[in-house]
Structure 1
């Protein structure tokens, strides 16, 4: 296929070529992979700026997306892709093969850095889903930080740069500019732009931006990051968000309240215990779904209210395919059992993706962490049901973009099953807050291509 870049894609390609480090905050469906590959091919074979390129990506994306994109476009299909995946002997064999671009999953970044040590061979690195490096304590961040001075060019790709707030930005931006804009340490960044929020004596739980900090951070990043929204450049299908209130029975509601109040729910087969606020939140989310793991790791079912609500979604779809996102293994098991007459499939393989897109699956079950990146599922259906909505804005947005993207021919309907009066309602509220904060960042660094062109 001949690649005819849109105006915004041409702008992104130009920025990658011009800048030794750049963050492309491009919405899902805008073709950031094709842009990165096109610029890489130019830098490698026309400008002779780079010789060996590493792509760090989520596993599913590393397995499929980058090789599929090179094969898709006429101007890229000569590029040789080596997949540094699987057992160690396979990864080493891939590294020793002759290729232009080496693709590795982010979980193996630490291994890769240790494997090469000071003999780091990659002069260009592309981080697909830069936001997966948002934790300064994560091993993958610390490993890549060690070799960052040895990297000549770096590109960070993401549609969700600040999924949980502006604190997420420091590690990502540090990998781009080695601390030039937001400081050399996360501590200095916090002290400069944030103030303590919720705390318990000396323990600080949250950090709130100081007055004008948001504008100052956005300004700092304006020359390094380019933001592009799909709504500005693509004719996206209509999106219809639907909240389906789920009423718990009096018995189930009483058990929910008891666990929330006492942090302990005695059961015949094994108690449900919540020792910390985080554990309690997790247990309450499970209970809102209808089951919870007890102290022995066994799933105890409390109600079928969400399963019955999902029944309504399936029946209303009238035979049309429904993509159902779940959070817990017991969610998956219970949905499979409850809807066994429909023969629901769990999204695992490339064949599952093909069967969905070919219209052969009526109910596809997927976890947002495994189906959140790089999968084109829009051909198979236009209905999403969130059996349990995640706290993570990144997972939520990426998962919805599997259907709500360019190429979708119908309005996308997104159902959210929300247990009334429970923590489910808090999740929906928090996601809305996070989205507003992230949109402010994206707007601040948005590429004003039309203004530049005039």
Structure 2
């Protein structure tokens, strides 16, 4: 396929080539992968400014997306790729192979750093989903930070750089500029742009963003970061969001209210216990889906209301492919038991085949956990119907998951069905998603409000 870049893609390609450390904050569907590959190809073979290139990506993206994109476009088919994946011996062999691009999953970055030490061989590094390095205490960040001085050119890609606020930004920008813009330490960054909120003794676990922080921080990083929104550049097909109310029977509603009120639901095979707000939220979400893990980690089936609602949607789809997002393993097992045609995304080469089968229309129902398919998977050729069997508090995962179908290249209107159990915490999550106020704070507020309400009843 011939690549005819949009104006914004031409601009982004030029910024990569002209900026040794650059962050592309491009929303889903704008083509970050082909933009980056095109720039890397020119840096390798036209400008000779790169020689060994490492791409760090989520596992599924490392296994499939980059190699598939390079083979999709005529001008990139000559690029050779070595995937540093699998067992230790497989990774070592891939590291020694002769290739243009080397791809590794982010979990193996600490291994790679320790393996190569001061002989780090990569002059250029691409971090696909830079936001996955947002924690300054994570092993992957610490490892890459240690070898950052050995990297001449670095490219950070993400559509959601601040999923939980500006605190997420420091470590990402540090990997780009080694602390030049936002400071050398997370402590100094917090002191400059945040005020201490809730604390336990000397430990602050809640930082409040200062009023002027966002404007100041964004101005400081604007010279090395490119930010674009899909709506400003693409005419995407219509997206239709539909809430599907799911009614629980009286027995299930009574059990739900008891768990919500007492934080304990006694059952014959084992009690369901929720002793914190976060645990309660998790249990209530499971309950709304139809089954709950008890204190012995055994599955307690409660109702089939969402399975019945899913059956109605599949029947109405009349054979058209459906991408289904589920939350818990027991969701998947019950879905597979009820709908035998269900396929899941496997790992490795089998996963690449699953993606190809989906995009060629060979899969009628593909069940995916949003955490494993939220980034980088191009599924827009296979269908236009999404069903959320279980909702997520993570706005980032929610947006990324929906963008698997609602993205550049989609030719049909995308319909997103949300199965929302009446009178349950599902309604709070759906409201938070609509308000784009998800995350830990929204979870805690929703649970607190529910507890206060049931106590007043």
- TM-score above 0.5: yes
State the secondary structure of the residue aligned to 1:391. coil
Alpha-carbon distance in structure 1 between the residues aligned to 2:199 and 2:310: 39
Correspondence 1:104-119 to 2 at 5 A: 104-119=104-119
Deviation at 1:180, TM superposition (A): 1.6
Tell whether 2:294 aligns with 1:324.
no
Alpha-carbon distance in structure 2 between the residues aligned to 1:143 and 1:267: 47
Deviation at 1:240, TM superposition (A): 0.6
Deviations 1:160-205 (A, max 9, x none): 1112222211111111111222222222222222234455666644
Alpha-carbon distance in structure 2 between the residues aligned to 1:144 and 1:323: 35
Deviations 1:214-267 (A, max 9, x none): 222222221121012222222211001111222333332232233233332222
* Structure-2 change in CA distance of 1:433 and 1:190 (3 Å): farther
State the secondary structure of the residue aligned to 2:118. coil
Q: State the match for 2:449 in structure 1.
A: none
State the secondary structure of the residue aligned to 1:413. strand
Q: State the match for 1:301 in structure 2.
A: 301
Q: State the match for 2:370 in structure 1.
A: 368
Q: Is the 8 A contact 1:323 1:384 kept in 2?
A: yes
Q: Which sits farther off after the overlay, 231-240 or 196-205?
A: 196-205
Gaps of 5+ in 2: 440-457
Q: Is the 8 A contact 2:266 2:272 kept in 1?
A: yes
Alpha-carbon distance in structure 1 between the residues aligned to 2:427 and 2:97: 51
Q: Is the 8 A contact 1:322 1:364 kept in 2?
A: yes
State the secondary structure of the residue aligned to 1:377. coil
Which of 343, 346, 350 is the equivalent residue of 2:344? 346
How many residues were matched structurally? 435
Q: Is the 8 A contact 2:383 2:405 kept in 1?
A: yes
Deviation at 1:410, TM superposition (A): 1.2
Gaps of 5+ in 1: 438-454
Alpha-carbon distance in structure 1 between the residues aligned to 2:131 and 2:293: 30
Deviations 1:290-318 (A, max 9, x none): 11111211110112222222223223223
Q: State the match for 1:291 in structure 2.
A: 291
Deviation at 1:104, TM superposition (A): 0.4
Q: Is the 8 A contact 1:270 1:295 kept in 2?
A: yes
Deviations 1:339-390 (A, max 9, x none): 33xx222232233223322323322211112222232222221110001121
Q: Is the 8 A contact 1:165 1:434 kept in 2?
A: no
Deviation at 1:434, TM superposition (A): 4.1
Q: State the match for 2:248 in structure 1.
A: 248
Q: State the match for 1:148 in structure 2.
A: 148
Deviations 1:116-165 (A, max 9, x none): 11211111100011111111221111111111111111000111111222
Q: State the match for 1:130 in structure 2.
A: 130
Structure 1 stretches of 4+ moved >6 Å: none
Alpha-carbon distance in structure 2 between the residues aligned to 1:327 and 1:238: 26
Q: Which sits farther off after the overlay, 405-414 or 86-95?
A: 405-414
Alpha-carbon distance in structure 1 between the residues aligned to 2:385 and 2:9: 29
Q: Is the 8 A contact 1:384 1:415 kept in 2?
A: yes
Deviation at 1:428, TM superposition (A): 2.5
Q: Is the 8 A contact 1:163 1:434 kept in 2?
A: no
What do you get for the CA RMSD once the two structures are aligned?
2.0
Alpha-carbon distance in structure 1 between the residues aligned to 2:253 and 2:207: 33
Q: Which sits farther off after the overlay, 401-410 or 348-357?
A: 348-357
Q: Is the 8 A contact 2:429 2:438 kept in 1?
A: no
* Structure-2 change in CA distance of 1:346 and 1:436 (3 Å): closer
Deviations 1:270-309 (A, max 9, x none): 1222233322222121111111111211110112222222
Q: State the match for 1:441 in structure 2.
A: none
User: What is the TM-score of this pair, normalised by structure 2?
Assistant: 0.90
Alpha-carbon distance in structure 1 between the residues aligned to 2:361 and 2:65: 22
Q: Is the 8 A contact 2:79 2:101 kept in 1?
A: yes
Q: Which sits farther off after the overlay, 69-78 or 413-422?
A: 69-78
